Structure 1
């Protein structure tokens, strides 16, 4: 039996980067799927530290907050850089991913119809820092930081894939990001996961917007 359990809604949402990491690293996990009806009853919510999901367990150890989960798995599986400087750069890059993800979530859940055109227009400015980070690291031929994949790469890949759904062609003016997405998506375990029902069978968001 796998020691990892993800408790979350039947969507990709804030858990897909974690799933990508686990799949790519050859790990198995159990999905404890929470329906909206179950969540609205409030019993499970009352037990969650911050009143929200995802919840992640590793045996008897429980974590909340999606980025804390990613960092934990990054430390555990050697995906958190090789020295203090790399780890600091990874933290910086992940904070950038979180900033853009939060803007995306505001669009999806609060301002989709009125705000999508402006969001897409402004998107190049939001993506440029990631192109810059790639260029600064071996000319964009490696990962977002360093020469080994990190937890941030899974988080950024997820973010870029959902933006390619939102705005097809959004990476056309970012050759390094485009190549990065293709390169990571072709890793054997990730490629299999991205083609599996655990990815294709789940909506990106809980309200049907994408």
Structure 2
């Protein structure tokens, strides 16, 4: 197994994108192996690399890690992005689960039939403004970080999801000044700034071509 960190997934966001973000924030270089055909996925299964026959898969420290939360927890713990104690870790987990819920809403919208698209977007915007963003705005009231006095995975996930929201609703942060200030400060961090530059491993929003590949590779899921 390679000593380098290797990511196995599609050439798109999905559940791997937050992992890419966190590795970038930690300053960890990684390689990507993109799944483009059903045979690629079947080989991983037959080789025993996928514990539950699911991707994402990350090769790191001699391990083959699956399950996105487990992967994110490991990276955060290894690279000091997980707070200073159990209490901070619990808070970080709560914020991170909130950002994940919001990301899931956004991701599902790309699978919504065209006739239901606007209803889906309206639902995302309403929940973001009423349920999620106020929590993060309050969390940033007295600090540049959601938890403690240093960058954590919760901050990285918040930056990711807030940028995803702005792709759909450019003015959505207009009534959340703390999140706006947080965004600008976090985007200026050298490692984050590098990841936001053109040509980085950051992926664009999914399109029909990506969905076609995913459906071919994971045909058993889309039956």
TM-score bracket for the superposition, by shorter chain length: 0.7 to 0.9
Could you tell me which of 146, 151, 154 is aligned with 1:152?
154
Could you tell me which of 197, 200, 206 is aligned with 1:198?
200
For the residue of structure 1 that corresponds to 2:178, the secondary structure is helix
Aligned to 1:179: 181
For the residue of structure 2 that corresponds to 1:198, the secondary structure is coil
**Alpha-carbon distance in structure 1 between the residues aligned to 2:197 and 2:94:** 30
Q: TM-score, normalised by structure 1?
A: 0.84
Q: TM-score, normalised by structure 2?
A: 0.79
For the residue of structure 1 that corresponds to 2:208, the secondary structure is coil
- Aligned-pair RMSD on alpha carbons? 2.5
Closer, same or farther: CA 177–114 of 1 in aligned 2, 3 Å:
farther
What is the number of equivalent residue pairs in this alignment?
205
Could you tell me which of 61, 71, 74 is aligned with 2:73?
71
Closer, same or farther: CA 116–173 of 1 in aligned 2, 3 Å:
farther
Deviation at 1:136? 3.5
**Alpha-carbon distance in structure 2 between the residues aligned to 1:173 and 1:72:** 35
Deviation at 1:134? 4.0
Aligned to 1:44: 44
Aligned to 2:32: 31
Deviation at 1:4? 1.3
Q: Is the 8 A contact 1:7 1:55 kept in 2?
A: yes
Deviation at 1:28? 1.3
Q: Is the 8 A contact 1:80 1:87 kept in 2?
A: yes
Deviation at 1:10? 0.8
**Alpha-carbon distance in structure 2 between the residues aligned to 1:36 and 1:159:** 29
Alignment of 1:50-129 (within 5 A): 50-109=52-111, 111-122=112-123, 123-127=125-129, 128-129=131-132
Structure 1 runs of 4+ aligned residues shifted over 3 Å read: 36-40, 127-131, 206-209
Q: Is the 8 A contact 1:22 1:28 kept in 2?
A: yes
Unaligned runs of 5+ in 2: 211-223
**Alpha-carbon distance in structure 2 between the residues aligned to 1:130 and 1:84:** 25
Structure whose CA Rg is larger: 2
Q: Is the 8 A contact 2:136 2:179 kept in 1?
A: no
Deviation at 1:39? 4.5
Aligned to 2:217: none
Q: Is the 8 A contact 2:7 2:58 kept in 1?
A: yes
